[in-house]
Structure 1
Amino acid sequence: MRINLFLVLAATSLFGCSQTKTNNSNPEASTPQGDSLLTEIQQQTFKYFYEGAEPKSGLARERIHMDGEYPLNDQNVVTIGGSGFGLMGTVVAMERGFITKEQGEVQLDKVMKFLAAVPRFHGAWAHWYNGDLGTVKEFSDKDNGGDIVETAFLAQGLITVREYFKEGNDTQKSIAAKADSLWKGIDWNFYTNNKNVMYWHWSPNHAFGMNHAIQGFDECLIAYVLGASSTTHGIKPEVYHEGWARSGAIKTSLTKYNIPTVLKHNAQEGEVGPLFWSHYSFLGLNPKGLTDQYANYWDLVVNHTKINIEYAKLNPLNYKGYGADKGWGWTASYSVKGYDAHHPDNDPGVISPTAALSSIPYAPTESIAFANYLFKNLKKQVWGTYGFYDAYSETENWYPERYLAIDQGPIVVMIENYRSSLIWDLFMQAPEIQEGLKKLGFSSPYLK
């Protein structure tokens, strides 16, 4: 079954979602420069989480396909992790004036009420919900309950909202208190299953049947940091050191293109993972000056990015449009071969704009060059209602008009962290985060 774009936009209008103050960009317009370029990308991309939000819950839809190629009953499926990114994006939008504070308050209060009302599993949320019904939508047979990693991505956003609003007016303080209560209700320790490692899933039907231990390095560092930071259901330091860090085996001397990988990526031997591994945990957690006994995390994420840029320069498969000043960056995204986690050793010739754009704090020159390349050469094909589409291939002449929440969210947040450190500063100032990092043996310029 197909769904027309009109149905999505009509549903949004029907439920009275306010419009942002910006207009859709004209694909024929000249390329913006400097700050205006970054502002335009942030504004347009944020619309995914505001104008494109599922209207009853206020949460981010898992996906929006402007070409209509998805089942009608998918349009109300909301994603918990992507919604966490959207909460941080909403703070950016209010601070930048993309929406008013009052508009942000209405949206955020709706989200907090929905999150408090839906089923939770030892405090954790499921990966997906039916936003119109407030019920769990299973991700897979045994993944129909708590997802502690998606919950961690959401919790980053809850803490950010709390810190932004905690000294505000009465309405803002009320939202901050709701966000605080939701965050404190997560039972991180339960997800250790009484072992010195965290487990990704718990199901009311299958318990820990997925048996997916969370071990690094990948996108899940934030789950351990938040688990250690919890003042209500915290994890022991041993869970981090023996579980995530594999009792020290997370360290490696591996290089890629003569660039140190710093930590062993949770990938095939000799490979690095997709770039979202260096984005999702670091939307709130600032890697600048962040170190522990295993890594300098700024070196980790910068080198991960440099490896992607070097691969684009070498372009060993001779794909069209690759280069440090053209297309670069590989992550989990749509693809000519279906959704996949792309990286330099798994590249079907597909570029996902979020990979380079969300790496802007790590490689600003190359990220901005990539944005300019898209605007100047491919804007008609890759730019739409909610910013850059999820993925494209110049080699295959493939330009699907599709979006994914988990790819759009980091663009807004990481561009802001590059520009002002807003989200980094808010998250890192949280007293629980500071104590949690100390508990795990981290050093950071933020720690008092």
Structure 2
Amino acid sequence: MRTAMRGESRVRAGNGIVRAGRHDPLPTGLIMCRIATFNRVAGSLLVLLLGLALAGCSGGGGGSSPAPTTPPGGVTSLTLSASPSTLSVSAGASTTFTLNVSPASYSPVTVSLLNAPSGMQISTNAGASAGSGTQTETLSTAASTAAGTYTVTLSGSSGALSGTTTLTVQVQAAATGALQLSATPAVLSQPAGGSTTFDVSVSPAAASPVTLTLVNPPVGMQVSTNAGAVAGSGTQSVTLTTTTAVTLGTYSLTLDGSGGGQTASTQLTVQVQPALPAAFVQIEQDTFNYFWNTTNASNGLAPDHYSTANGPSPYASIAATGFALSAYPIGVQNGWVTHAQAAQRVLTTLDFLYNAPQGTSASGDSGYEGFFYHFLDLNTGLRYGTTTGLSSVDNALLMAGVLFDASYFNDGSSTDNQIQTLANALFRRVNWQWMAQADYPLVNLDWTPASGFSPYNWQGYNEAMIVYIEALGSPTYALPTSAWTGWTATYPNFWGTYYGRQQLSFGPLFGSQYSEAWIDFRGIQDAYMRSQGIDYFINSRRATESQQAYAEANPGGWTGYGADLWGLTACDGPGTFSFTNGSGQTLSFQGYYARGAGLQDAYDDGTIAPTAALSSIVFAPGIVIPTIQAMQANYGSYILGQYGFHDAFNPSFQYTSVTPASGTVVPGVGWVDNQYLGIDQGPILMMLENYRSGLVWNVMRQNSVIQAGLKSAGFTGGWLSGTPALQ
């Protein structure tokens, strides 16, 4: 079926130093005895001998950067502290911690453990810098070390000073059984110069965390276990990083792990993609600032759009609010806002939504049956206008942001705990069964107090995949697997070859981007995709490549179209106009409209939306990056602003005699928009971050609702089962 775009989702991270003062000076009695044997020596010789003896005996045994032999004024001992001071380790394994030394000039110190159990030892790691005030220590245990919690004293000495600190060491029982490792996901994709995280599962759990190394990786690629790994937990978070020197391509690598006296390995596939130019990171930050600055901080609602001329729209879009909720963790990860700042913004939003009135009144309510009206007054949060309905897909986008925050904000603080409580409560009250009652189990598009349910249901293929994933994964109002079967029943109508690529075809690119901004579809397949031998990620790559091929062919003869100027999706436009060109051809244009190139829902009036290409960077970086660079070079001063890319531009619209719906017409350039749309800004931000780090995908892979929904829909493979993704 054709999706009513504007009416639904589109309406807007020592040893070896010989220390001075380590040996005691000669005892005074020995010195005086030696002096007596030379009683006939002149007094001056006595003085000289005594001076030489004292000077020679006080000297240390060489080494660079010796510690001071004379303590600073008032300092009588070393102050030592361990970070962390509580360690957890399996018998037969080891763990590291940082030892802080004050005064710093006495570091590194010689360390030892007092009152430690049998088999427990400590050693200073190589590389400790003299005078730095810190050194890395490794605490190791023997397989025979008894399990239990030990309070041990760490003693450190340097120069004339010494000190102690206390360690609590929790020793887990030694691992038994053959060591086994598995990586989730087993296929990683990241740009050269970037990083991404994945989980390593360890069996037996008592052996974790294990020490990991990549076998023969390309130059510039390495792995490291993230801080916070808990001994005996059976899992550890790992970061894979690459430098810009890594050759692009796909690598099949072996990841070795050692722990508990055993070794094991697992396989990783790493796809290294083109490095992201610095300008793209700036675009990402500017786009984040759009959500941070334009959202109503008092209630967390995000405006539908923001105009450089008029500011934010008077009404909020719940879909844009879902993208805003997804933006805040990205800001935290990049250091653009603090965890506390983002958490408070999220808490404000969720609290407002949870307490907003729900009911069937035509006015005075914000939603009904757990759903919210598509448009809410930006200030009051009540239904905006008299025609706004409960759009199921826009609610799904809102709830995707809610679920993302529920999984991300989990540091155990009071604020994070409140976020999780409210997020879970908000999602649990969304009554998907109610929204599907008109033609059960298909989800209806929309409901209004005056008209009830829309005559249309969501069937594929379009942006509504996430509607069904959430509905099937609901812990309270779950739809049956047959809902997914009904959703995919119309897929044959959308399957075909478009510009040489077989695909499920939906013209506007937002149909490929919305669900995949949150859900990592790489390598996971439902029954339909298994039958076609691809996955939804590959399908979206083909859709992206087809749009470029369409622009190169340029059947409509639009100005500027080519390999580096393409991108059709639902977006702003110059307005509803028709003109006759010099060849007698009638050219028609639209304002906000669903533009696209594909077997279904195709429309083109020469309007290019930067979000169409940029939000596809995860699918086809090799064609997206040069396209965006060309847009910047050729149109940047007109289409880039405070918050990144304006929504759209049209080089073919050169009609200066008319007043466009938004923006302006620049002679020789064409129509350029002056608005930013929340539902177009969101995919830009999220897909850039997914390309750089995989943040949103990694977090959402852990969400129980998403996992349950995918499994209910019949998805298998990939990160759901730890198998490699399709190439």
Unaligned runs of 5+ in 2: 1-274, 357-365, 530-534, 575-589, 654-669, 722-727
Alignment of 1:17-416 (within 5 A): 34-68=276-310, 75-118=313-356, 119-138=366-385, 141=387, 143-144=388-389, 146-193=390-437, 195-208=440-453, 210-242=454-486, 244-246=487-489, 249-250=491-492, 253-261=495-503, 263=504, 265=505, 272-295=506-529, 296-324=535-563, 326-336=564-574, 337-344=590-597, 345-396=602-653, 397-416=670-689
> Amino acid of the residue matched to residue 205 of structure 1?
A
Question: Partners in 2 of 1:220 and 1:180 — Cα distance?
Answer: 22
Residue 35 of structure 1 and its aligned partner are, at CA, apart by: 4.4
Q: After superposition, what is the alpha-carbon deviation per residue over 1:365-419, rounded to whole angstroms, capped at 9, x for unaligned?
A: 2211122112222211001111100000122211121111111110000111111
> Amino acid of the residue matched to residue 369 of structure 2?
H
> Amino acid of the residue matched to residue 354 of structure 1?
T
Question: Partners in 1 of 2:343 and 2:320 — Cα distance?
Answer: 19
Residue 341 of structure 1 and its aligned partner are, at CA, apart by: 0.5
Residue 318 of structure 1 and its aligned partner are, at CA, apart by: 3.0
Question: Partners in 2 of 1:156 and 1:249 — Cα distance?
Answer: 24
Residue 226 of structure 1 and its aligned partner are, at CA, apart by: 0.4
Question: Partners in 2 of 1:177 and 1:96 — Cα distance?
Answer: 26
Residue 342 of structure 1 and its aligned partner are, at CA, apart by: 0.5
Q: Is the 8 A contact 2:302 2:378 kept in 1?
A: no
Alignment root-mean-square deviation, CA: 1.8
Question: Partners in 1 of 2:631 and 2:407 — Cα distance?
Answer: 35
Question: Partners in 1 of 2:352 and 2:499 — Cα distance?
Answer: 47
More helix by share: 1
2:520 is paired with a residue of what secondary structure? Answer: coil
Question: Partners in 1 of 2:341 and 2:410 — Cα distance?
Answer: 17
Q: Is the 8 A contact 1:61 1:76 kept in 2?
A: yes
Residue 253 of structure 1 and its aligned partner are, at CA, apart by: 4.6
Distance change in 2, residues 1:342/1:60 (3 Å) = same
Question: Partners in 1 of 2:675 and 2:705 — Cα distance?
Answer: 38
1:214 is paired with a residue of what secondary structure? Answer: coil
Q: Is the 8 A contact 1:218 1:277 kept in 2?
A: yes
Question: Partners in 2 of 1:190 and 1:291 — Cα distance?
Answer: 28
1:425 is paired with a residue of what secondary structure? Answer: helix
Distance change in 2, residues 1:112/1:249 (3 Å) = closer
1:418 is paired with a residue of what secondary structure? Answer: helix
1:378 is paired with a residue of what secondary structure? Answer: helix
Q: Is the 8 A contact 2:611 2:680 kept in 1?
A: yes
Distance change in 2, residues 1:236/1:258 (3 Å) = same
Question: Partners in 2 of 1:301 and 1:251 — Cα distance?
Answer: 17
1:183 is paired with a residue of what secondary structure? Answer: helix
Question: Partners in 2 of 1:274 and 1:434 — Cα distance?
Answer: 27
- Of structures 1 and 2, the one with the larger relative CO (CA 8 A, separation 6+) is 1
Q: Is the 8 A contact 2:640 2:646 kept in 1?
A: yes
Q: Is the 8 A contact 2:508 2:596 kept in 1?
A: yes
Question: Partners in 1 of 2:464 and 2:301 — Cα distance?
Answer: 22
Q: Is the 8 A contact 1:278 1:301 kept in 2?
A: yes
* Percent of aligned positions that are identical: 30
1:254 is paired with a residue of what secondary structure? Answer: strand
User: Which residue, 682, 690, 702 being the options, matches 1:429?
Assistant: 702
Number of aligned pairs? 397
Q: Is the 8 A contact 1:228 1:236 kept in 2?
A: yes
1:279 is paired with a residue of what secondary structure? Answer: helix
Distance change in 2, residues 1:250/1:176 (3 Å) = farther
Question: Partners in 2 of 1:235 and 1:137 — Cα distance?
Answer: 29
2:352 is paired with a residue of what secondary structure? Answer: helix
Report the equivalent of 2:24. Answer: none
Residue 249 of structure 1 and its aligned partner are, at CA, apart by: 4.8
Q: Is the 8 A contact 1:218 1:273 kept in 2?
A: no
> Amino acid of the residue matched to residue 510 of structure 2?
F
Residue 307 of structure 1 and its aligned partner are, at CA, apart by: 1.0
More strand by share: 2
Bigger CA radius of gyration = 2
Residue 252 of structure 1 and its aligned partner are, at CA, apart by: 5.4
Question: Partners in 2 of 1:186 and 1:313 — Cα distance?
Answer: 44
